[in-house]
Amino acid sequence: MANPARGSIGDIHLFEDFTGAEIPVASAVAYAGDVRGYKIGQFKVTGDLAETDTGVVSVAISNGAARISGNNEDGKGVAIGTEVIFDPALNGTLRMETRVQRAAVTAGVVFAGFCDVHADDVAEPATATGTTYTLTASDICGFSLDSQLTATATWHCIFNGGSVAGVTDSTQVVTGTTNARNTNGEAAVIAVAGEWDLLVLEIYTNGTAKWWINEELMQVQANAVSTSVDLACYVGCWGTTTTAADLDIDYLDIKARRNWAR
């Protein structure tokens, strides 16, 4: 029998459907100076918000969506998500589900997942060039698109921080690659301009992570993350050139278990 004296809200469930709430991009008043601290629903909005071409706006398309507008400078961008609050062992299973698309799959970096850093001036948790990732965040687990990779528009499943060293060879974490993490024979998932991709990521209490795209299991990695390092969950988009990078997000759904320890 359950203890009636114990709190009943054992699930943490954060959700935003992006059907109307917005932060205007071109607002000199809202973004006067280096201003931060905005939020949409249950999520904070971080990044280079003082720039007039950077922020989040509602998009009037089917289901409703928000457009995360990155920046026209390399490494500058915006993210939507949580504070650093989720411990895999204490709050797991951690689960993120989101649906995203790019209007143009050109210059830009996209990350969706968990990371141990989510500062107000949020930076890319991983950078890349050619076939090499630099995992700048010590603890990271998520989906990555990076136009600076050889596979410019192909989804990758990256991780770092667990007892298994993070893989920096992009050819070993690209979707569609048959390796120890992917034995299902699923085809590579290439982001197509104007087409939605459904991304689901789960991190279990033992540090194992699983990545799904469009309902297909893409990768499984044991000990992908530390079980004792707190993580944030967010979706972000950053620029790489003088062309601003945009990402549309249909919804963001995050689930975890409450840690009842005193």
Dist. CA 120–CA 11, nearest whole Å: 27
- The pLDDT assigned to 29 comes to 43
Of the listed ranges 179-183, 188-192, 217-221, the least confidently predicted one is 179-183
Q: Is residue 222 scored above 80 in pLDDT?
A: yes
Q: pLDDT class for 58, splitting at 50, 70, 90? A: confident
Of the listed ranges 53-57, 87-91, 127-131, the least confidently predicted one is 53-57
Dist. CA 36–CA 207, nearest whole Å: 32
Q: Is residue 176 scored above 80 in pLDDT?
A: yes
- The pLDDT assigned to 2 comes to 53
- The pLDDT assigned to 53 comes to 72
pLDDT higher for 156 or 36? 156
**254, 98 Cβ separation under 8 angstroms:** no
The number of angstroms, rounded, from the C-alpha of 21 to the middle of its chain's C-alpha atoms is: 20
- The pLDDT assigned to 150 comes to 95
Q: pLDDT class for 185, splitting at 50, 70, 90? A: confident
Of the listed ranges 60-64, 72-76, 155-159, the least confidently predicted one is 72-76
pLDDT higher for 231 or 9? 231
Express each pLDDT in 112-155 by its tens digit: 999 999 988 888 999 999 999 999 999 999 999 999 999 999 99
Dist. CA 256–CA 258, nearest whole Å: 7
Backbone angles phi, psi at 88, to 5 degrees: -55, -40
Express each pLDDT in 31-48 by its tens digit: 455 555 578 889 999 888
- The pLDDT assigned to 28 comes to 41
- The pLDDT assigned to 109 comes to 94
DSSP structure string for 175-190 = TT--BTTB-S-PPP-B
Label residue 257 exposed, middle or buried (CB < 10 Å: 0-12, 13-18, 19+).
Answer: middle
- The pLDDT assigned to 27 comes to 44
User: What are the tokens at 234?
Assistant: 């967010």
Sign of CA dihedral 224, 181, 95, 44: positive
Q: Is residue 84 scored above 60 in pLDDT?
A: yes
Answer whether CATH 3.30.70.270 is correct for domain 13-257: no
Residue type at 125 in one-letter notation: P
pLDDT higher for 187 or 25? 187
Q: Are strands 55-59 and 65-69 parallel, antiparallel or unpaired?
A: antiparallel
Residue ranges per structural domain of the chain: 13-257
Express each pLDDT in 226-248 by its tens digit: 999 999 999 999 988 877 789 99
Q: Is residue 202 scored above 90 in pLDDT?
A: yes
For residue 80, CA distances in Å to 46, 168, 218, 241 come to 7, 25, 24, 22
Average pLDDT, the chain: 88
- The pLDDT assigned to 26 comes to 44
Half-sphere exposure (Cβ direction) of 187: Cα atoms closer than 13 Å: 4
Q: pLDDT class for 22, splitting at 50, 70, 90? A: low
